[in-house]
């Protein structure tokens, strides 16, 4: 009997039929396992809740709020009708949902009258997506004969700081969760994403935070594995839209998975597996549409692949920022000033490179921030120190990732030889000494080809 935490979100919980499918999966796996379920809001609901709140604060139109509430009510009632057969259970769940919906409506009307929206009220509003989903899912399980109760994040023991919109769990969460959930009674359904702070105010763990909730719960109850059910076959060797031969990676280490998500393979947010890493609990990415395939297992140890590279990633929406000038040579503090000026302007740096001539420093940042970044650097540096500040939009960052490349000579040679053979010009290169990835920048028009060449070079689709 293994103990599993399973998280469902997005398309997996889009409507009544999908919720029923979740029930089938739980029924199947609960024969041999103890399970805790974590759910996100029905697909798209969090976005809708936030959009309606912003509109209400701006325009104060109560009748629009009422319209929105009607649609939201219909959608959830439809899900109940489609997913729960027993009329008694359906009725109970409907009542729970309808109470939640009237609380939410009151909050919206308050926002209409006040015309203001704080980070704290946004957390309150967006918490309803999960608060509506969890009772339905618990009802589905009961309807299938699985005992189940629903819990909000805070009822399950998740307590956070009060940094609304992006809260961090407090240490005591790790002690509270087992007190609240263990010993497991049936299959509890816990809302992802939401929690409370010590004052008892509703908080959220940031967008996409349900994964973090699942990981926290798994770590706190010493789960054997934490399963993230996604719409992909696991963590892929690259984007299948670019390379149709892309495959699911059977096994990958926490460190490699973090590298991959940093480089745009948006399967898991690095922060979301942090609690699992802390306790060394294996994390599995499973495909909702194909539950029999094992998916990707993320474990503590690096499991080197013979061919060293596990995946190729592409980050398209980036820009290159370059500062240069003879005045920079041997001048102390130029890099420090550039980085802190950018940090103060709220700009995240994706890649950095400076050659030993010290004449220029190149950085890769998110494309949408490039103008702001240039302004910040111009304000920071006098012309005699940094002569040129420039940027290039039409670039993309490519990275090859794999722990096996640490200490293995010849990987960089293969990467750049492949680029040379394909006549792809390399604009900038960076490899940190952790040697888990080699990243480089090419013109956007060459980016997808670069990915295809590397995927083939390292035989990631089983080509060689």
Binding site for ligand ASP (CB under 6 A): 9, 40-41, 46, 129, 192-193, 207-210
Angle 6-225-33 (CA atoms, 0-180°, nearest 5)?
70
d(CA 121, CA 112): 12
> From residue 217, how far is each of 78, 161, 286, 346 by CA, in Å?
30, 17, 18, 32
325 binds, among ligand ASP, Mg ion, none (CB under 5 to 8 A by kind): none
CB of 279 to ligand ASP, least distance (A): 21
Angle, vertex CA 332, rays to CA 327 and CA 338, nearest 5: 80
Q: With contact defined as beta carbons under 8 Å apart, do 334 and 362 qualify?
A: no
CB of 121 to ligand ASP, least distance (A): 16
Q: What are phi and psi of 85, to 5 degrees?
A: -90, -40
From the list Mg ion, ligand ASP, none, which binds 192 (C-beta under 5 to 8 Å, kind-based)?
ligand ASP
Based on the number of CB atoms within 10 Å of its own CB, is 222 exposed (0-12), middle (13-18) or buried (19 or more)?
exposed
Binding span for Mg ion by CB under 5 A among 36-44, 65-73, 230-238, 432-440: 36-44
Q: Is 393 helix (H, G, I), strand (E, B) or coil?
A: strand
233 touches, from ligand ASP, Mg ion, none (C-beta below 5 to 8 Å by class): none
The distance of closest approach from Cβ of residue 352 to Mg ion in the complex, given in angstroms and rounded to an integer, is: 32
* Residue 180 interaction partner, one of Mg ion, ligand ASP, none, beta carbon < 5-8 Å per kind: none
Q: Half-sphere exposure of residue 458, counting CA atoms within 13 Å on the CB side?
A: 32
Q: In whole angstroms, give the CA distance from residue 455 to residue 450.
A: 9
Tokens (6 digits) for 122: 């946004």
Q: How far is the CB of 46 from Mg ion (least distance, A)?
A: 5
To Mg ion, the closest distance from the beta carbon of 75 in angstroms equals: 15
Taking the complex as a whole, the smallest distance from the CB of residue 128 to ligand ASP amounts, in Å, to: 10
> Among all residues, whose Cβ is closest to Mg ion?
40
CA dist., res. 127 & res. 427, Å (int): 44
Nearer to ligand ASP, 11 or 359 (CB): 11
| Token pair of 4 as six digits | 């599993």
What does 210 bind: Mg ion, ligand ASP, none (CB cut-off 5 to 8 Å by kind)? ligand ASP
Smallest distance from ligand ASP to CB 276, Å: 16
Whether residue 338 contacts residue 323, with contact meaning beta carbons closer than 8 Å, is answered with yes
Give the Cα separation of 327 and 203 in Å (integer). Answer: 49
- Residue 463 CA to residue 289 CA, distance in Å, equals 26
Of 9 and 402, the one with the shorter C-beta distance to Mg ion is 9
Q: Give min distance, CB of 40 to Mg ion, in A.
A: 5
188 versus 192: smaller Cβ distance to ligand ASP = 192
Residue 232 and residue 287 in contact, taking contact as beta carbons nearer than 8 Å: yes
How near is the Cβ of 202 to Mg ion at its closest, in Å? 17
Report the residue number, 53 or 419, with the smaller CB distance to Mg ion: 53
**Would you tell me how many other CB atoms lie within 10 Å of the CB of residue 426?**
16
Q: Report which DSSP code applies to 406.
A: T
Q: Between 40 and 439, whose beta carbon lies closer to ligand ASP?
A: 40
List all residues 6 or more positions away from 335 whose beta carbon is below 8 Å from its beta carbon.
Answer: 354, 361
Residue nearest to ligand ASP (CB): 210
Residues facing residue 194 across a β-bridge: 204
Binding piece for Mg ion, criterion CB under 5 A, among 33-41, 59-67, 212-220, 267-275: 33-41
Q: Which does 247 bind (CB under 5 to 8 A by kind): ligand ASP, Mg ion, none?
A: none
Q: Identify which of residues 71 and 445 has a Cβ nearer to ligand ASP in the complex.
A: 71
Residue 209 interaction partner, one of ligand ASP, Mg ion, none, beta carbon < 5-8 Å per kind: ligand ASP
Q: Which is nearer to ligand ASP, 269 or 391 (CB)?
A: 269
Minimum CB distance to ligand ASP smaller for 151 or for 458: 151
Closer residue to Mg ion, CB minimum distance, 48 or 86 = 48
Most distant CA pair in the chain, distance: 78
- Residue 193 touches which member of ligand ASP, Mg ion, none, C-beta under 5-8 Å by kind: ligand ASP
Which residues bind to Mg ion, rule: CB under 5 A?
40
């Amino acid at each position: 009997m293994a103990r599993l935490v399973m998280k469902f979100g997005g398309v997996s919980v889009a409507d009544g039929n999908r919720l029923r499918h979740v029930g089938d999966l739980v029924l199947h796996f609960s024969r041999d396992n103890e399970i805790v379920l974590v759910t996100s809001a029905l697909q798209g609901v969090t976005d809708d809740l936030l959009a309606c709140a912003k509109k209400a604060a701006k325009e104060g139109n109560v009748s629009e709020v009422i319209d929105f509430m009607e649609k939201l009510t219909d959608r959830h009632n439809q899900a109940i009708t489609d997913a729960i057969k027993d009329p008694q259970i359906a009725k109970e769940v409907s009542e729970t949902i309808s109470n939640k919906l009237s609380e939410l409506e009151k909050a919206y009307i308050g926002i209409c009258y006040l015309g203001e929206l704080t980070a704290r009220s946004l957390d309150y509003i967006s918490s309803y997506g999960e608060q509506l989903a969890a009772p339905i899912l618990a009802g589905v399980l009961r309807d299938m004969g699985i005992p189940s109760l629903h819990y909000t994040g805070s009822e399950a023991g998740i307590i956070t700081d009060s940094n609304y919109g992006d809260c961090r769990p407090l240490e005591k969460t790790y002690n509270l969760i087992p007190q609240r959930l263990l010993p497991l009674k049936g299959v509890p359904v816990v809302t992802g994403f939401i929690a409370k702070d010590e004052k008892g105010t509703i908080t959220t763990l940031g967008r996409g935070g349900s994964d973090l909730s699942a990981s926290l719960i798994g770590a706190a109850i010493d789960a054997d594995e934490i399963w993230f059910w996604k719409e992909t076959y696991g963590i892929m060797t690259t984007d299948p839209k670019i390379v149709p031969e892309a495959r699911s990676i059977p096994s990958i280490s926490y460190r490699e998975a973090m590298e991959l998500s940093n480089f745009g393979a948006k399967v898991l947010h690095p922060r979301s597996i942090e609690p699992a890493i802390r306790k060394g609990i294996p994390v599995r990415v499973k495909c909702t549409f194909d539950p029999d395939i094992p998916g990707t297992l993320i474990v503590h140890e690096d499991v080197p692949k013979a061919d060293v590279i596990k995946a190729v990633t592409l980050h398209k929406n980036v820009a290159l920022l370059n500062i240069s000038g003879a005045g920079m040579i041997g001048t102390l503090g130029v890099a420090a000033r550039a980085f802190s000026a950018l940090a103060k302007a709220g700009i995240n740096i994706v890649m950095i490179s400076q050659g030993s001539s010290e004449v220029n420093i190149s950085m890769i940042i998110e494309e949408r921030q490039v103008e702001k970044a240039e302004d910040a650097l111009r304000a920071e540096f006098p012309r005699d120190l940094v002569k040129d500040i420039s940027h290039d939009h039409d670039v993309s960052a490519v990275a090859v990732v794999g722990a096996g490349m640490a200490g293995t000579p010849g990987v960089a040679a293969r990467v750049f030889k492949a680029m040379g053979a394909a006549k792809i010009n390399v604009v900038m290169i960076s490899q940190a000494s952790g040697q888990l990835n080699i990243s480089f920048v090419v013109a956007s028009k060459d980016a997808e080809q670069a990915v295809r060449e590397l995927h083939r070079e390292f035989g990631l689709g089983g080509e060689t």
